[in-house]
Amino acid sequence: MKLIALAVLLLLASVAHAAGPEPVWKTDGFANPESAVYSTQQKLLYVSNINGAPDAKDGNGFISQLALDGRVIKREWLKGLNAPKGMAYYFGMLYVADIDQLIEIDTGNGRIKRRLKAAGAKFLNDVTVSSNGTVFVSDMVTNTIWRLSGTDFTPWLNDAALENPNGLLVDKGQLVVASW
């Protein structure tokens, strides 16, 4: 009897697991969306749109703004980027990885504040910000983590052991790197 009860529980658990999460909402109309980030101050989402090849310096990329219910506020809120990928938000500033540059955008006026060239970078991909405002950016091709501290944007860590660093997260003061 216990074995049958256990089998039924396992079956129910596998069926529940197979169903997976239900989407709350879905939004169409993007052009190769790559990343989304939440603005705590504005209570909205920013979505990066590559809009072409992920390594093309073609000026086709853009950032969209979305309401928290999935409604598009402005599809092309900021245009003229190349292939924007990972993003991070920090006190009104949006940091965007764009091939070989880190773009700093003032979300209050929707204008680019700075374009920080990453000399030698090939494929900047993800961005995260620590609690003190230090920005970290991954370069998948060169196995490098870049760091922006104040006005200094330089390689912070370069190591083949990173094996194509992709996702970044600062957790309890420590940088966590996901690789492909």
Q: Which of 141, 135, 137 is nearest to 160 (CA)?
A: 141
* pLDDT band (50, 70, 90) for residue 9: very low
The arithmetic mean of pLDDT across residues 157-168, rounded, is 94
Residue 100 CA to residue 138 CA, distance in Å, equals: 11
| C-beta separation of 45 from 39 below 8 A | yes
Question: pLDDT at position 2, please?
Answer: 38
* pLDDT band (50, 70, 90) for residue 18: low
* pLDDT band (50, 70, 90) for residue 101: very high
Q: Kindly report the pTM of this predicted structure.
A: 0.87
| C-beta separation of 107 from 119 below 8 A | no
| C-beta separation of 30 from 47 below 8 A | yes
